[in-house]
Structure 1
Amino acid sequence: MVRTSIGEPLLALADVQEGMLTRAQLRAAGVSDAVVRGRLVSQWRAVLPGVVRLSRAPLDEHARYLAATLMAGPDAVITGIAGARLHGLTNAGTPEVVDLLVPARRAPRRAAFVRVSRTHRMPHARRQLGPLPVALPARAVADACRASTDARFAEALVIEAVQRRATTLTLLHDELYAGPRQRSATLRAGIAAAATGAWSVAEHDLVRLVRRSAVLPTPLLNPELVGPDGVRLPTPDLWFDDVGLAVQVHSHAYHADGDAWTQTVRADSALAEAGVIRIALTPREVRASPDDVLARLERTYLSLRTRPRTAARATPRPVR
C-alpha cells in the first residue's frame, strides 16, 4: 500500500480492509473528493463504485468479497456461491459474481463482479467470518442453487453441504419452502439427491442407474459394515444386502494422492479378506457407459445369488 498523508487512523482502517476505503470513510476523515481524484491518477485505483484501494495492486479472492461488502453497505450479507465457498464448500467453485442480500427497502444494484439483491427474507442469523458477514450455510447453498440452472451443480453442492454437516436436509427444506417457487427446480434436485444418502454426485448417478434395473433390488447407501469377526469394515458406496455385494465409485479427485490411494487399496483388501465381493467403478464410466455398468452389476448380482452369502452384516446409516 502506498503511504500517503491522509492520516494514520485512516491508514489503519485501510489495513483492516485489505487496503481499501469507501468514499464515505474518506469524506468522514476529511479527505476531499479532489484529493481522491488526484490519488486515483497514479497511486490508488477505483475497484468498485464508492470503493478505492490505496494501491494499484489487483484484488485477490478474499479482497473481492470484502470490496463487495464495502460497496453494498453495512447491512449487506454475502450469500450464494460466494457464501457457500466461504463456508468451505469446494463444490461451490469460484464465483464470477459475488452475491449479496440487502433489506427490501434498499434498491438492487449490479456493478462489475458484484450483484446486490433486495429481499423480504433478510437473513438476520448470519456468520461473521473475519470482516465478512455471510448468510448461514443453508441460505447460501439455497441461493446458490436457485441462481443456477445446472442440476448437477446443485446436487454436488447440496450433497457436500449435508455430508460435511455444514447444514441439514431439514434446514434446506425450510429454505426451499420459505423462498420463492421460481427457480427452485435445481434446489429441489439437490435436496432430492442428498436425501438418498449419497455421499457424492457420482454415487447419486449410480443410484439413478440402478433404479433403471428390473434385476437389482434397492441397495443400501453407505451402510455401516461389520465383518464375520465383528470388526468394522470400510463403508461401501452401495450395498446389495441379499447377496453381500459391495460397489465402490472411486473418484480421481479423492483418491489421486498417495495417502488416499493407499487407504483405498487397504479398504479394498479389507473387504476381500472378509469375503465381500466388490465392484469398483469410476464416475467417468458411470456417466459415459451406463448400460455397460448396469449390465456388469446385474451379471455379478445374479452370479452371487447362487453362492453362499458373506457373513458381513450391514446396518443402514440414517440420512441427516
Structure 2
Amino acid sequence: MYGGGNTFEKLQGTDLQNEDPQKLAEFEARIQRGEKIEPADWMPALYRKQLVRMIEQHGHSEIIGALPEGTWITRAPGFKRKLSLMAKVQDEVGHAQLLYAAAETLGKPREQMIDDLINGKSKYSNIFNYPAFTWADACTISWLVDAGAIVNQLANSRGSYGPYCRALERICAEESFHLKYGHHAVIHLATGTPKQREMMQAALNRWWGPLMHFFGPPDKMSVHSETLMRWKVKMASNDDMRQQFLDMYVPKIWELGLTIPDPLLRKNEETGKWDYTEPDWEEFKRVINGDGPLNKERLAVRRTAEERGKWVRDAMKKVAAKEYVTPLA
C-alpha cells in the first residue's frame, strides 16, 4: 500500500531516539524469536503508528473494494452468480470490520478511521479507483485482484502483531474461496463464445496496468525502511510480491488463451525473474493521491452511506446510555 511513507521517514529519526534502549532491544529480541506482539505489550511509537497506517488502509481497501463488484450484483448473469457475488461482497465488508477492530487495539477509534477515509486523509489501494464496465471486469477483480491481495496478505499474516495476523488468517481463508469463484467465472468467459472471449480479453487489458501497480512502487523507489522489515511489519518487498504474483498467475492466464498486454513480459532465464514494461508510476501516484478515474465517486458513496447511517449510530448510543427513544407511531 502506498501512502504515509514520507511520514515514516520524518518520524524514524526522532521516534527511535526517544525510545528506551533496553525496552527497544527486548522488543526486537522478541520479534527475532518469532513471538507475537499483543496490544498490552510495550512497543515503539513508530511501530504503533506504522501498524495503524497499514491496517486501517487495508480496512479502507476492503470497504472501497466492495463497491465496483457490488454494482454488478443485480446484473450478474444468472441467479447463482448473483448469490455468489452477493456473498463475496458481504465477506469483503466483513474483512474491513475485522481490520478496523485490529487497528482499534492500537488506540485509534474506528470513527476517526472512517472520518479520515471519507475526508481523503487516509489512503486505500489504487486499484479500486477504476471502473468495472462489464461483467468481465467484475470477474477479473474476483480472480486476479483477489489473487494479488492473497499474495500480500499471506506474507503479512506471518508478521509480528498478533491481532493483525489473526485477522489475516481468517481473511485469507475466505479470500481463497473468492479466488476460486473468480477463476471459475473467468474460465467460463475465456472458453465461451467469441464475444465472451473478446469481453474477457478487453477486461484483462484494462486491469493489467492497475494490477502491476497493486503491489506498490519498486524497491528502488519505495519509502519503506529496513526497520519495518526487521520489525516484521512488512514481510516482503513490493518487487518480491509482484514477482510471486507473476510466477503464479501469468501461466494460468496463458493457459486460458488470453494475451497479457505487455510485449516485454517474459521469464528471464538468467535471473529466474520476470522482465516486464515498467509501470507508469506517475499515474499510480496520481490515483493514490485522489486524482484517479473514480476516486471522488467512490468516496462520495462512502460519505453518503455514513450520513444515512448516522441515525442508527445515534440511536444505539442513546440505548447504550439508557436514553430510550420514544417508539414511532
Verify same fold: TM over 0.5: no
Name the structure with the higher helix share: 2
Greater C-alpha Rg: 1
- TM-score of the two chains, using structure 2 as the length reference: 0.25
Ranked by relative contact order (alpha carbons within 8 Å, sequence separation 6 or more), the top structure is 2
